[in-house]
Amino acid sequence: MDNKLLVIKGNILFFEYGFVKKSLLIEDDSISLISDSLHVNQQYKLINAEKYYVIPAFVDGHAHLLSMAKRSEWLDLSKIDSLQKLKEVISETSRIIGPKKWILGYGWDESHWRDEQRYPTRRDLDEVAPDNPVFIRRIDGHLAVVNSLALKKLHIKRNIRGVILGKDGEPTGVLKEDALEYASKQLEYNIDTLAQGLIKVALEAQRKGVSMSHETMDLDDLSSFFYALQKIGNLDIKFYTFIVDQFLDYLISRGLGKLASKNAKIAGVKVFSDGSIGARTAALREPYKDDPSNRGMLLKDRDELVEIFQRADKAGLQLAVHAIGDRAIDTVLEAMKIAKMNSQLRHRIEHFELIDDDHIRIARKLGLIASMQPNFVGQWQMPGGMYEKRLGKNRWRRMNPFRKIIEEGLILSFGSDCMPFDPIFGIWSAVNHPVSDSRIDVLTAIKSYTYYSSYAAFLEDVQGEIKSGKIANLAILSHDPLKIQDIRKIKIIAHIYEGRINYVTWS
């Protein structure tokens, strides 16, 4: 539906007041007028949302929709609830496709399994698919498991960092961090598959009320991504992208930091300092409670980080630095202090999970944005969950202290990391944090998922809140999020992108 003049009547969210009954006049792609009442004649198209609740469309401040698009034809293993079920699914897939063809899957999470809460091994996969190369990536993206045939086909040598060996000195099939990336780069996809995958994820974004995603990609993905966008032509979502730091020289020398199209813009550089709690690769000061010989993986030391930070900052590139464990956060913040960077570039620290008061104070002084994923709380930080098992009670309590971060004056931007890709679940998680002192209210959580994620992309002047003159990116909700007891029950009734209705569930 392409509208020149669109009127929305409903309960409109204003961050200063909450929901107020108003009418919005939308001309072309922007909100031109907000009024108590508007006379509607035949030149207008009316959306009567008086029973519903209108908010700014969500901006996912940390997602991997490109990865979702690339694996759109892979097995979705996110609903698997046991190791046995995983093996059954792979066995059945092998039977259907026949020998020699790749079996690729993603999204499994052993911490929620009912039988054995351990990583699968190559022997588990060999047992059910010995004649197919198998590659299955964990939900967090920092660990995958391959079978013996895949190990052979991918030419994975045991001396690559992240190849996990068993007591017998042989590869277990578990690949972490560097080894995982080495393997992943050899898995092929084509432009047509990517284009179709991007169309699918854009439709999913509409269903979730999302108008923009902050993304990470490497140089190979970058060219394929822009070519696929050109092939598609029109896609109702925008991408704010970071290129991984190993391509920093190329990014600077070719001036790619200013590359932009209708749907995508290169923002800066993504730097990984550690891994994840789920893969036990987040870098910790003290060992993992459930793996006492392991403190995780610090992927870059302080001096390496200082060099990258200074070069990116000098080139005017925004930094998005992945740091989950307290040892990684120590190292990143120390490197940032030494690098003496320009706070006007709005550098970001991604995840920022296992933190203390000093971390928050230093981050505030450095002018950093805390780019965090509240859905991690709902997934793994509830009592008795993976975070408590991996870290113990004391460190579990320190994870994701949203309220303290805001009270100390940091900008808090929310994203999903696609675990799951669902802002409503993220807002529920932030509001229901198991540590009461870390909870935030619903309005604050929505603002972090709209206005402050726009701020993190230098777009707060044009989107992220409902105001006259701003882009008409809107989501219409089934229930009042400020009053409903279980926020997870809220449905996205409609999504409006740049003044056009592209998703609606009522006539």
| pLDDT at 266 exceeding the cut of 50 | yes
- Tell me the whole-structure pTM to 2 decimals: 0.95
Does the pLDDT at position 256 exceed 90?
A: no
Query: 389, 34 in Cβ contact below 8 A?
Result: no
Mean pLDDT confidence for 198-222: 95
Interval 299-338: pLDDT, tens: 999 999 999 999 999 999 999 999 999 999 999 999 999 9
Q: What angle do CA 115, 118, 119 make, to 5 degrees?
A: 125
Q: What is the CATH number of domain 273-455?
A: 3.20.20.140
Establish whether domains 5-57+473-504 and 69-184 are of one fold.
no
Q: What would the pLDDT profile of 334-379 be if each residue is shown by its tens digit?
A: 999 999 999 999 999 999 999 999 999 999 999 999 999 999 999 9
Q: Residue 55: which pLDDT band, with cuts at 50, 70 and 90?
A: very high
What pLDDT shows up at residue 507?
61
Residue 219: the pLDDT is 86
Give residue 44's pLDDT: 82
Instruction: Check pLDDT > 70 for residue 3.
Output: no
- Asked which of 34-38, 70-74, 213-217, 475-479 is least confident by mean pLDDT, the reply is 34-38
In angstroms, what is the C-alpha Rg of the chain?
A: 23
Among 464, 463, 400, which residue's Cα sits nearest to residue 426? 400
* DSSP H stretches of helix in 99-218: 122-128, 148-153, 177-184, 191-208
Question: Percentage helix, strand, coil, to 5, in the chain?
Answer: 35, 25, 40
Taking alpha carbons only, the member of 356, 312, 359 closest to residue 331 is 359
Average pLDDT, the chain: 95
CATH class given for the domain over 69-184: alpha beta
- Rounded-to-10 torsion of CA 441, 442, 444, 449: 140
What does the domain layout of the chain look like in residue ranges? Answer: 5-57+473-504, 69-184, 273-455
As a whole number of angstroms, the distance between CA 372 and CA 216 comes to 15
133-151, pLDDT tens digit by residue?
999 999 999 999 999 999 9
185 vs 123, which has greater pLDDT?
A: 123
Per-residue pLDDT, 1: 43
Looking at the DSSP assignment, which residues form a beta bridge with residue 474?
56, 496
Minimum mean pLDDT among 187-201, 270-284, 416-430, 481-495: which range? 187-201
- Topology given in CATH for the domain delimited by 5-57+473-504: Urease, subunit C; domain 1 (2.30.40)
pLDDT band at 188 (very low <50, low <70, confident <90, very high): confident
- Do the beta carbons of residue 141 and residue 277 sit within 8 Å? no
pLDDT at 351: 98
| Identity at 425, one-letter amino acid code | F
Amino acid at 231: K
SS3 for 242-311 is EEEHHHHHHHHHCCHHHCECCCEEEEEEEEECCCCCCCCCCCCCCCECCECCCCCCCCCCHHHHHHHHHH
